[in-house]
Amino acid sequence: MKRMIIAPSILSADFARLGEEINLVQSLGAEYLHFDVMDGHFVPNISFGVPVLKSISHIHHMVNDVHIMISEPLKYIKKFADAGADIITFHYEACKDDDEIFEVIDAIHDEGIKAGMSIKPDTPVALIDQFLGDLDLVLVMSVEPGFGGQSFIPSALEKIAYLRQKIDDNSYNCLIEVDGGINEETGQLCKAVGVDILVAGSYLFGKDDIEERMEMLR
Ligand code: DX5
Ligand code: ZN
């Protein structure tokens, strides 16, 4: 059985103790560190950005998994890459057309890092078929992007199952990640339909039994 990759989202961490929180999830075996960038324009919330990533990207050995919920992603690829991103995942909906999507993917690859693309809950998954061969990761949003602590939207499961089949049928080298409302129950549902990476924020941070919770996700 394939091992599930866990990506704790530091959006739910205690920012006054960010370094400690990062050390904690690393010591519990997290493989990826999920970093949610929100610009107050593409999504109705503002989180953190390049300077914070720069400060934390080298204090750990996990994969810096940077999810940019921002308008005009192309403008910021180099900045996030220079700040230490290992994967940059931008939004399908933030691009004006297919050409721009290919441009963003190329810009990320030109930085020597991995390219991911995310779709919001209302975006039909078949729209991204043509990009799967070029992507290293697809991020299925299982909540409306913008806030931690929301409930899982079940239609994400069909999207994951669809992507699993497409990726396997075509032998694409593309991981499937799911983000939003992940806990021990929804995590298992996603695992059953073939997800590779679980992002979890409010389920993990600030919980006394975080170690057990990490195990439950696996
Ligand atoms: C939401 C972010 C998520 C968020 C998930 O827009 O992309 O990564 O941190 O939080 P939980 O796990 O609490 O739903
Ligand atoms: Zn995210």
pLDDT tens digit string along 155-186? 999 999 999 999 999 999 999 999 999 999 99
Nearest in space to 128 (alpha carbons), one of 91, 157, 161: 91
Measure the CA–CA gap between 45 and 147, rounded to whole angstroms: 7
Could you tell me the distance, in angstroms and rounded to a whole number, from the CA of residue 85 to the centre of ligand 2? 14
Given CATH 2.60.40.10, say whether it is the number of domain 5-217.
no
Measure the CA–CA gap between 51 and 66, rounded to whole angstroms: 13
Question: 156, 139 in Cβ contact below 8 A?
Answer: no
Nearest in space to 197 (alpha carbons), one of 32, 79, 11, 10: 32
pLDDT, one tens digit per residue, over 130-154 is 999 999 999 999 999 999 999 999 9
Please report the pLDDT score of residue 2 as a whole number: 76
Q: List, chain by chain if needed, residues with CB within 6 Å of any ligand 1 atom.
A: 9, 11-12, 34, 36, 67, 143, 145-146, 148-150, 179-182, 199-203
Domain boundaries, the chain: 5-217
